Chain A
Amino acid sequence: MSTKPVTPTPAMREPTNFNTRRMKLDQFRRATMNNLITGLAILSTVVVITPLLLILGYLIYKGASSLNFAFFTQIPKPVGEDGGGMANSIVGSGVILSLASLMGIPVGIAAGVYLAEFGRGKVLADAVRFTADVLNGVPSIVMGISIYSLIVMQQKHFSAFAGGVALAIMMVPTITRTTEEMLMTVPHAIREAALGLGVPKWRTAISVSLRTASPGIITGCMLAFARVAGETAPLLFTAFGNQFWSLSLTQPIAALPLQIYIYATGPYDEWHRLAWAGSLVLIMLIMVSVTLVRIFANRGVLKGGS
């Protein structure tokens, strides 16, 4: 029965015709879907880039027209008077950020050295790494109220020192993770060569591993610095802000992001003008450091990625 040849009939040919048609339809559908998704992906990239360019463009437009010499040399004028600048905020930001870097960078780098040089494969190191990642996601305002409760409530007054501590705590996890990553990219053979010559382990870690990875570690520190430079929330309850000159670590101190917040939410046009100028200065500071970092990275000084 099965060997008997079947003579093709039009009725039997019909389905094959139908199938090719369906296949063509299917192919058309798949091709359309492909193009549609490609288009959507391109569109979403454009949609993401547009607000960035809009924000930057508007910021430069508004900021540049409000920037003047007084901005960098004068302290804020009383409400109602025109003019004045944010010199005290710029200096205050500098004080707080130096304080934060002084405390945060050594601790962050040391923790990174532990993870990469001493803790490899240990459960404790995994736990530290994980905690650092989680700590990185803790909202900055929570840091603010913790430091407020610890330092400001004890001392009974806001201070530049408290602001520095809050920002330092925020810098530590970022620096730890980048330091570790950068140290991981240092080839083992280099360490072994040093150890083989009888160099003590601590000396190897400092003069060989850290030194080889230093461009990357500096990058990490600058990124952490750029990140906390714009933080406002933790400073609200620690540094508090100040309308006058202050360099004392035990007194409330002005900071650029804080002042921008106060001016932006205030009702006066003169304040808004200063807020735009302050934002431009702040963003320039951050962009320049981040861009420098990227250029370094592209030159191949940094091999492990961003």
Chain B
Amino acid sequence: MSPTQMTTNSESNPSEPRSTVRALEVPLPSAPAAGEPPTPVLTPSIIRQFLSSRGSGKFADQAFAGLMLTCALSIFAIVIFIASILVLRSKLSLHAFGFKFFTSQAWDPVSGDFGALPFIYGTLATSFLALLMAVPLALGVAVFLTELCPKMLRAPISFLTELLAAIPSVVYGLWAVFVLVPMMRDSLGPFLVKTLGWTGFFEGANFGVGMLTASIILAIMILPIISSLTRDIMLAVPNSQREAVLALGATRWEMIRVGVLRNSRIGIVGAVMLGLGRALGETMAVTMVIGNHAEINKSLFAPGYTLASVIANEFSEATGDVYLSALIEIGLALFLVTIVVNTIARLLVWAVTRGAPARVA
């Protein structure tokens, strides 16, 4: 400790007035200055420091791996938790109605008699119709994007179709309520009655809301999922296969049919099933336009009800334990069905695109 050092210390802080008192105080916090070792000629290199810290990293490594594993396992935990809580809360309804719940058409909150058949019918019918409309279009888009489209257009068109997926359900619902429903009521509906009225599917009062409107909006919503997955699956077909078929003198369509579609059909089925899974669980847009009436009707103009939309509509005003329990059982059914559909679909898609980078749809 030298006086010169003291002065440098106080000089480093020019805001403090220099005084003798200050100089006397300096030795008190002098630990760093006093403990300063004579500078060694050789400091251990950074690499050496790393190497010597390795031993203590062992524990940190295990702790880190454990933490990451816990987070990964939480995904299992979420699925198990959802399943168990749904079973637990729907116990009342499971006991009261048994399997009859799925075959009964009754939906009477006042007398406490519940059956899910109208909702099952509504869900299946709207999803099936949506697939009927969406699948050919999605295949067309995928074929266009992978085989026909000029390179320049490829990126913008895929971008646009994927924008469809980014629009929230409730906005689709809003659009459907104010644009699609009037269109359905005033132009499309009467046209269908005139041309296809004889089939019996387009009968009765046409309010604009109903099964068909819900199916159309569902079709628009599941299109991007099916088309982007199908496109990826088609891109996974090796180019040599296309070239081989073309070399045999096939036209482009024959090449697509024999060389591409035939090889990716399993994956395409998977993509369609993923779209189906999405359609089964889609809630807000459907709730806004399906009419919300628990009945089974052959006419597609008639209002309907789906599993998801009955939960959305009635859950927060369900009075009575059995009512609530019945709604949760409907949720359980929806959960199990979508789990099964998604599992099969993922397996099919994996079987085809294994090796190629997976995408999050």
* Given pairs A232-B284, A276-B174, 14 additional interface contacts (CB within 8 A): A55-B171, A114-B65, A117-B68, A119-B69, A131-B76, A134-B346, A138-B338, A141-B308, A143-B82, A145-B331, A150-B81, A172-B78, A237-B316, A290-B163
Q: Tell me whether A48 and B227 are in contact in the complex, defined as CB-CB below 8 angstroms, given that A198-B47, A286-B168 are known contacts.
A: yes
Give the 10 A-B CB pairs with smallest separation, nearest first.
A230-B168, A139-B281, A44-B140, A200-B57, A202-B64, A110-B71, A137-B342, A114-B68, A114-B72, A41-B144
Instruction: Check A41 against B140 for contact (C-beta < 8 Å).
Output: yes
B82 contacts across to A, CB distance below 8 A: 138, 142-143, 146
The contact string, 1 if C-beta is below 8 Å from chain B, for chain A 69-99, is 0000000000000000000000000000000
Known: A260-B171, A264-B288. A34 touches B360 (CB 8 A): no
The answer on a CB contact under 8 Å between A135 and B71 is no
**Is B155 located at the chain interface by the 8 A CB criterion?**
yes
Q: Determine whether A30 belongs to the interface, using a CB cutoff of 8 Å to chain B.
A: yes
Asked if A149 and B86 make an inter-chain contact with CB atoms under 8 angstroms apart, the answer reads: yes
B131-189: which have CB < 8 Å to A? 136-141, 143-145, 147-149, 155, 157, 159-164, 166-175, 177-179
> With contacts A45-B141, A260-B171 known, is A265 near B288, CB below 8 A?
yes
Q: Are B170 and A232 interface neighbours, CB within 8 A?
A: yes
Question: Is B237 among interface residues, defined by CB-CB distance under 8 A?
Answer: no
**In contact, B346 and A133 (Cβ under 8 angstroms):** yes
B166 in contact with A290 (CB, 8 Å): yes
Pick the residue among B137, B252, B274 that contacts A38 (CB under 8 A): B252
Question: Does B51 sit within 8 A of A, measured CB to CB?
Answer: yes
Contact A38–B281 (Cβ < 8 Å): no
Minimum Cβ distance to chain A for residue B69 (Å): 6
B343 pairs with A294, CB closer than 8 A: no
Q: Does A189 contact B (CB under 8 A)?
A: no
User: What are the residues of chain A within 8 A of B147 when measuring CB–CB?
Assistant: 41
Name the one of B74, B161, B251 contacting A172, with C-beta atoms under 8 angstroms.
B74
Evaluate contact between B311 and A141: CB separation under 8 angstroms: yes
Q: What is the size category of the interface that chain A forms with chain B?
A: 35 or more
Given contacts A44-B144, A139-B282, contact A134 B68 (CB under 8 A): no
Per-position binary interface string of chain A over residues 247-264, scored 1 when its CB falls under 8 Å from any chain B CB and 0 otherwise: 000000000010011001
The answer to whether the Cβ of B293 comes within 8 Å of any Cβ in the partner chain is no
Q: Give the total number of A-B pairs whose CB atoms are below 8 A apart.
A: 296
Report which residue of B147, B161, B164, B283 has the largest number of chain A beta carbons within 10 angstroms of its beta carbon.
Answer: B283
Instruction: Report whether A283 and B167 are in contact in the complex, using a CB–CB cutoff of 8 Å.
Output: yes
Within 8 Å of chain A (Cβ to Cβ): is B194?
no
Residue of B nearest to A143 (CB): B82
Chain A residues with CB under 8 Å of B227's CB are: 48
A and B contact pairs by CB, cutoff 8 A, 27 listed: A33-B253, A37-B256, A41-B141, A41-B144, A41-B148, A43-B140, A48-B227, A49-B160, A59-B175, A62-B178, A110-B70, A111-B74, A114-B69, A128-B76, A134-B79, A140-B281, A149-B89, A150-B81, A177-B358, A197-B47, A227-B166, A232-B284, A233-B169, A257-B284, A286-B168, A298-B155, A305-B359
**Chain A residue contacts of B78, Cβ below 8 A:** 135, 169, 172
- Flag whether B312 is at the interface (Cβ < 8 A): yes
B interface, size bucket: 35 or more
Least Cβ distance of A182 to chain B in Å? 10
| Chain A 38-66 per-residue mask, 1 if CB under 8 angstroms from chain B, else 0 | 10111111011101101110110010000
Across the interface, name the chain B residue whose C-beta is closest to A53: B160
User: Contact flags (1/0) for A173-209 with B, using CB distance below 8 Å?
Assistant: 1101110010010000000000001111111010000
CB of A185, distance to nearest CB on chain B (Å): 8
Closest CB of chain A to B71's CB: distance in Å?
4
A217 at the A/B interface (Cβ < 8 Å)? no
Q: Does B42 contact A (CB under 8 A)?
A: no
CB of A258 to closest CB in B, whole Å: 8
- In the complex, are the beta carbons of B65 and A200 less than 8 A apart? no
Interchain CA distance A280-B236 in the complex, whole Å: 37
* Residues 327-341 of B contacting A (Cβ, < 8 Å): 327-328, 331, 334-335, 338-339, 341
- Per-residue CB contact flags for chain B residues 245-285 toward chain A (1 = under 8 Å, else 0) read 00000011110100000000000000000100110111110
Partner of B141, one of A44, A229, A275, A290: A44
CB of B359 within 8 A of CB of A141, answer: no
Q: Are the CB atoms of B72 and A264 closer together than 8 Å?
A: no
In the complex, which residue of chain A has the Cβ closest to the Cβ of B157?
A45
Cβ of B73 within 8 Å of any chain A Cβ, yes or no, is: yes
**Assembly CA distance A298 to B254 (angstroms):** 33
Contact, CB under 8 Å: B166 / A287: yes
List which A132-172 residues lie within 8 A (CB) of chain B: 132-146, 148-150, 153, 169, 172
Closest CB in chain A relative to B154 CB, distance in Å:
11
A25 to B60, CA, bound (A): 75
What's the least CB distance linking A111 to chain B, in Å? Answer: 4
